[in-house]
Structure 1
């Protein structure tokens, strides 16, 4: 198996359950990993998953505000599988930095691991 990923990608986005989160926004950090069969030598980008393509998917989904981070990670995994059917496993972790909780919290996190 071969794993391709992006780590600690930063976005400013407007996801959140509360109205003020959709106005003020927040900083988010995302990690995305996908696994494909890796039993043969890869000689071309067409034989693998282009991490620029993964970034484009994540960027597009992060631009659409959602009330729940769970919705965001599910949308990302679904879009990756649609674009790259050879993906056999994905793992997406989304961190909301300084979530509005009335306490000092570095981040909240939602992670989704899927086997296809």
Structure 2
């Protein structure tokens, strides 16, 4: 299999359970890893997953506020497969930096690994 990924794409977004998170927002880091069949050499962009396309999908999904990070990673996973049907497996990991928990925590994390 061939792996294509984006690591630590940074976003300012408004996901969160508490009402103030929808107003204040937070900083997020997103990792997307996809795997496609890779048994022959690829020499054309149309034969692979364009990582610019991965970013465009991420940007669209991250722009829609959700109360739970779990909803975000599921939406991303579904959108990836819809745009790139050749994806066999994906891992989407979303980190919320400095979550509002009243404690010094670097980040919270939700990760979804899916086989199609």
Q: TM-score, normalised by structure 2?
A: 0.99
Looking at structure 1, the residues matched to 43 and 62 of structure 2 have their Cα atoms a distance apart, in angstroms, of 32
User: Once the two structures are superposed, what CA deviation does each residue of 1:49-88 show, in whole Å capped at 9, x if it has no partner?
Assistant: 0000010000000000000000000000000000000000
Q: Secondary structure at the match of 1:99?
A: coil
1:109 matched residue in structure 2: 109
User: Once the two structures are superposed, what CA deviation does each residue of 1:1-45 show, in whole Å capped at 9, x if it has no partner?
Assistant: 000000010000000000000000000000000000000010100
Looking at structure 1, the residues matched to 5 and 80 of structure 2 have their Cα atoms a distance apart, in angstroms, of 12
**Structure 2: runs of 5+ lacking an equivalent:** none
Looking at structure 1, the residues matched to 46 and 9 of structure 2 have their Cα atoms a distance apart, in angstroms, of 24
Give every structure 1 segment of 4 or more consecutive aligned residues whose post-TM-superposition deviation is greater than 2 Å.
none
Structure 1 vs Structure 2 CA RMSD: 0.3
2:72 matched residue in structure 1: 72
Aligned pairs (5 A) from 1:87-106: 87-106=87-106
Looking at structure 2, the residues matched to 94 and 69 of structure 1 have their Cα atoms a distance apart, in angstroms, of 7
Tell me the number of residue pairs that the alignment of Structure 1 and Structure 2 aligns: 116
**Structure 1: runs of 5+ lacking an equivalent:** none
1:19 matched residue in structure 2: 19
Give 1:97 shift. Answer: 0.2
Looking at structure 2, the residues matched to 69 and 47 of structure 1 have their Cα atoms a distance apart, in angstroms, of 31
